[in-house]
Amino acid sequence: MSIFVDENTRVCVQGITGRDGAFHTKGMVEYGTKVVAGVTPGKGGQDVDGVPVFDTMKDAVEKTGANASILFVPAKFAAGAVTEAAEAGVGVIVAISEGVPTLEVSKIYQKLDRLGTRMIGPNCPGIISPGKCKLGIMPGWIHKEGGIGVVSRSGTLTYEVVDQLGRHGFGQSTVIGIGGDPIIGTNFIDSLTAYQEDPQTEAVVLIGEIGGTDEEQAADFVKANMTKPVVSFIAGRTAPPGKRMGHAGAIIAGGKGTAQEKIEALTAAGVPVADRPSEIPELIKEALKA
């Protein structure tokens, strides 16, 4: 199995006729993802690489049975696009868009919760269940099907860890980039819960970074609820306080959110923390033997 997306996921691309939308649609289709529709207001009736384009999400869902969507739209239109997708009835929305105002995300988060729709992102690379579905911008070729779940706040670090895992013979059940903004739709605990329930997942790699308290909360969850092994890596160990490092959520403020605090919390919960990404495969090997 896998979490959140699989071979039965039917995808609609919002913003499919734009440069990024068209480019990544082609990549997802070539990977084998079932991209069944696209939406760009005013361009219904066209097609992109054989994918039919509709004017609204409502039409796309009704005519193609799409049950997931991915956004390639400017940040100022992202909240509206997410709302439209959720109201059309899709179950999973991947918001790639960067720079979506935090207040807008907060408002749509409440609506998504009421509608029972999962959002991944914003400001994220997406999600991939290797061999089944790629819903995002990640390089599909480095991912191999297997039993390791990967959940990360960092896009590029995710690719590095996946590559390291593959070099040591570890495939992945699902890899999810949750995004690095202060408010996101799917967090570490959501993902860990799903991995714990997924029969395919044998162990989990958690990739965190400075800022916020998500990793500390995840550590508490692992200690109380996870029977599967979890290993981790925390980015930003040398970041100076008060400086944002890459992501809007990656900032140490008031002495909170430091790498050391996160490492201590994870270690106390029994989660091994790698000093560098290249150490993760060995930690996985040791964890699976335990």
Rounded CA gap, 147 and 204, in Å? Answer: 9
Local structure of 10: helix, strand or coil: strand
CB 261 within 8 A of CB 212: no
Per annotation, catalytic residue among 24, 143, 168, 247: 247
238, with CB counted inside 10 A (0-12, 13-18, 19+), is: exposed
Q: Are 12 and 57 in contact (CB under 8 A)?
A: yes
CA pair distance 167, 272, nearest whole angstrom: 20
Helix locations, 51-209, DSSP H: 57-64, 75-88, 102-115, 155-167, 188-197
Instruction: Provide Rg for the chain, Cα atoms.
Output: 18
Question: Can you read off the two tokens belonging to residue 210?
Answer: 């400075």
Specify the pairing of strand 10-14 against strand 126-129: unpaired
Can you tell me the distance from the alpha carbon of 103 to that of 87, in angstroms, rounded to the nearest whole number? 20
CA distance 256 to 270: 21
* CA–CA distance, 37 with 46 (Å, rounded to integer): 11
Catalytic site residue 247? yes
Could you list the active site residues? 247
